[in-house]
Amino acid sequence: MITATQIRGARAMIGMSIEELAAASGLPVETVSALENGQFAGEPHALFDVRSTLEAQGIIFLSSGNQDEGGPGIRLRARTSSDDGIRPENLNAANDD
């Protein structure tokens, strides 16, 4: 089970708006907003859809048993070797976003 705080934090961590999360998970914005406010009752499929969507974006949900202190949390999945980005010596104005 994930918490409302984990959902809000995960979305913020990857820079995704509520509207973007709703669209990506196939849910109405109101449902995602309700989940972020802790209103899980009657929405088990919605919670699963949101969790799956965030995990596909690289979020790992940590339960309270995964750490010595702090309770439930989130983190980003480790980058793969094929996702190393641009090396500093290759940075230039052409690839500056």
Residue 18 banded pLDDT, cuts 50, 70, 90: very high
Q: Compare 80 and 49 and report the one with higher pLDDT.
A: 49
State the chain's mean pLDDT as an integer: 85
Residue 15: what residue type?
Answer: G
C-alpha to C-alpha distance for 26 and 65, rounded to whole angstroms: 30
Q: List Cα–Cα distances, 47 to 16, 92, 97, in angstroms.
A: 17, 42, 34
Model-level pTM? 0.74
For tokens 């089970």, name the residue: 1
Q: Is the dihedral of CA 29, 35, 40, 41 positive or negative?
A: negative
Query: What's the pLDDT tens digit per position in 41-73?
Result: 777 899 999 999 999 999 999 887 655 567 788
Q: Compare 2 and 84 and report the one with higher pLDDT.
A: 2
